[in-house]
Amino acid sequence: MTAPRSAACLAALLLLAAAAPAAGPPAPRYEYRRVHDPDGIGKFYMGREIAWVMGHQGIGWLDRPERVKEERTDKLLKALPLRPGMVVADIGAGSGYFTFPMAGMVGPRGKVLAVDIQKEMLAVIRQRMKARKISNVEPVLGTVTDPKLPAGKVDLILMVDVYHEFSHPYEMTEAMVRALKPGGLLVFVEYRLEDPTVPIKLVHKMTQAQVKKEMAPHPLRHVKTLDFLPWQHVILFEKTGR
């Protein structure tokens, strides 16, 4: 290339660079609004307001006798592919309402990782483990961004009425996907926002479309949605790749 031609090419490149818009900072992942639902924290993800976390003071509501009839919790675990020897995680385990039935289903060769961010909830689970002589449950103190699960070791992660309360849903999903084995399942159980007759506060409900939208950035494939429960979706995703 001759010197004049080289200089001309360089000048053209400089003109293109000058004309191109300068790259600004990436759009923030979360949005904060001063006017919002009083049952939400004022923080939004993909257009959805995040709900306040239910404190350990709500254990009585989790364990209420009528929950079986209202939510048909007896049907939920039977619909999941839980087998002896599996490692499963119960995220937002609370009082262990689902933890202990799952412990029986995965058997002594399996394990249930009972994750919660509230030490008081885990204390209840430990008390119940001791009283029931259960040894295949491991209480895990998570954080708002990380459930503290072992990477690539979990067959199935269950979240019952929990995901909508994550203050950092993107980061939590990233961490949960890392914990799943290839082909492992991420299971959402969420009150149906599509149904106005479901007697739950709005920010504690989610549409199936919103759940799928929020999972789209992650290496997950929507497997199916089950709507056999009175109030809730059961939405299953499979981890793709490694």
Measured CA to CA, the distance from residue 5 to residue 147 in angstroms comes to 59
pLDDT exceeds cutoff 80 at 10? no
- Where do the structural domains in the chain lie, given as residue ranges? 58-239
Q: Nearest to residue 52, comparing CAs of 202, 191, 189?
A: 202
Query: What pLDDT score was predicted for residue 139?
Result: 98
pLDDT band at 30 (very low <50, low <70, confident <90, very high): very high
Measured CA to CA, the distance from residue 189 to residue 25 in angstroms comes to 35
Query: What pLDDT score was predicted for residue 207?
Result: 98
Q: What number of CA atoms fall less than 13 Å from residue 52's CA on the CB side?
A: 11
Place of tokens 């839980």: 82
Read off the amino acid at residue 37.
D
Digit-coded pLDDT (tens) for 126-146: 999 999 999 999 999 999 999
Euclidean distance between the first and final Cα of the chain, in Å? 47
pLDDT exceeds cutoff 90 at 11? no
Assigned token pair, 177: 């996907």
Digit-coded pLDDT (tens) for 75-118: 999 999 999 999 999 999 999 999 999 999 999 999 999 999 99
For 231, phi then psi, to 5°, come to -120, -15
Query: What pLDDT score was predicted for residue 57?
Result: 75
Digit-coded pLDDT (tens) for 213-231: 999 999 999 999 999 999 9
- What percent of the chain is modeled with pLDDT above 90? 81
Angle at 195 between CA 190 and CA 198, to 5 degrees: 70
One-letter-per-residue 3-state SS of 133-193: CCCCEEEEECCCCCCCCCCCCEEEEEEECCHHHCCCHHHHHHHHHHHEEEEEEEEEEEEEC
Place of tokens 């149906």: 192
Q: How many residues does the structure list for the chain?
A: 242
Measured CA to CA, the distance from residue 192 to residue 195 in angstroms comes to 6
pLDDT band at 54 (very low <50, low <70, confident <90, very high): confident
* Mean pLDDT estimate for the chain: 91
Measured CA to CA, the distance from residue 81 to residue 223 in angstroms comes to 13
Query: What pLDDT score was predicted for residue 16?
Result: 47
What is the mean predicted confidence (pLDDT) over 176-186? 97
pLDDT exceeds cutoff 90 at 4? no
pLDDT exceeds cutoff 90 at 21? no
Q: What is the DSSP letter of 109?
A: T
- Would you tell me which CATH number, out of the four given (3.40.50.10380, 3.40.50.2000, 3.40.50.150, 3.30.470.10), belongs to the domain 58-239? 3.40.50.150
pLDDT band at 3 (very low <50, low <70, confident <90, very high): very low
Place of tokens 């007759």: 197
Lowest model confidence (mean pLDDT) among 55-59, 111-115, 203-207: 55-59
Cα dihedral 187/193/196/198 (nearest 10):
30
Query: What pLDDT score was predicted for residue 63?
Result: 80
- The count of other CB atoms within 10 Å of the CB of residue 222 is 14
pLDDT band at 13 (very low <50, low <70, confident <90, very high): very low
Place of tokens 């900072």: 25
